Copies of this chain bind each other. A is one copy, B any other.
């Protein structure tokens, strides 16, 4: 897929740039973009990167126009423009026609020794390693690579370009490589979704529980490193990175771009917000909310202990007034530290 800058300008609602016949074949961030890719700059934080980028073209916010390199498209909201443009570099699941119905359960794959059960859909250029088993009714989209000695159970969807390592165990109903939840609001409060162009990359010896979902990255990949164990109904958002040998219990959710260290143990139903860093060897107890970086190993907790409802009713009234109790009692934070 190649787009001329003239076409890009039309898509994002920018004036056509000088070199309007110049073509780009992908989007990337300023740091990693090559000459045949387009990038974008949203705020003053991007000025330094703008001066160093190898991108063939950039979309920039109006107020950054003095910092524009050549091949520049100027808009009011470069992030919104990026969102609009992203969809033009995205392909959805390719279609196997009626005549091919038998082909997709055929075992004529590149590597011998792969077992594929009935009802599976296999896209183009799928690579599966020796002794890997694919259960019934799975969808393995174009350009997916799965290592050897892995078990993919039934009804699993692995979307375009995702990578699964060796000796993995993927339980039924898992979705790997689903769209990330990235949306940009325009001035009318309407959302434009970002088409996620990165992949999800799963290491070796990883197990993933039933109906868990792992989103693909926005531009770079979501990464699950070797030896990670993930339970059922877990949500792992775009660009999350989970370090080696970390275990995550059921119903936990990890929001976008959060990075979790090695050998962590994360309890069930934990909520971890976006853009956090959690170091190695952290233990988080079940149902806690993680709303800040964790820079020291240790065990962390945060929830309300269970009470009889009649007691909770009395307690909860005071719970919402703790600052006022402190003020009334003339307690100052500095006095109790």
Contact = CB atoms under 8 A, between A and B. Distances in A.
A316 B288 CA distance: 13
Interface string A291-310: 11010001111111111111
Contacts of A190: 205, 227, 245
A316 B305 contact: yes
A250 interface: yes
A324 B336 contact: yes
Interface stretch (A4-12, A19-27, A38-46, A92-100): A92-100
Nearest to A137: B137
Contacts of A191: 227, 229, 245, 247
Quick one: copies of this chain in the complex? 3
Nearest to A94: B117
A181 B326 contact: no
A115 B255 CA distance: 33
A237 interface: yes
Contacts of A279: none
Interface in A73-101: 92-93, 95-96, 98, 100-101
Contacts of A301: 306-309, 312-313
Contacts of A178: 153, 171-172, 209-210, 232
Contact of A319 (B105, B183, B319, B335): B319
A53 interface: no
A115 B251 CA distance: 34
Interface string A262-301: 0100011101010000000001111111111010001111
Given A233-B253, A321-B336, A302 B299 contact: no
Given A117-B96, A139-B137, A189 B157 contact: no
Contacts of A284: 306
Given A271-B286, A319-B319, A322-B322, 11 more contacts: A93-B133, A101-B102, A175-B232, A181-B250, A210-B215, A213-B250, A291-B303, A305-B316, A307-B320, A314-B323, A315-B322
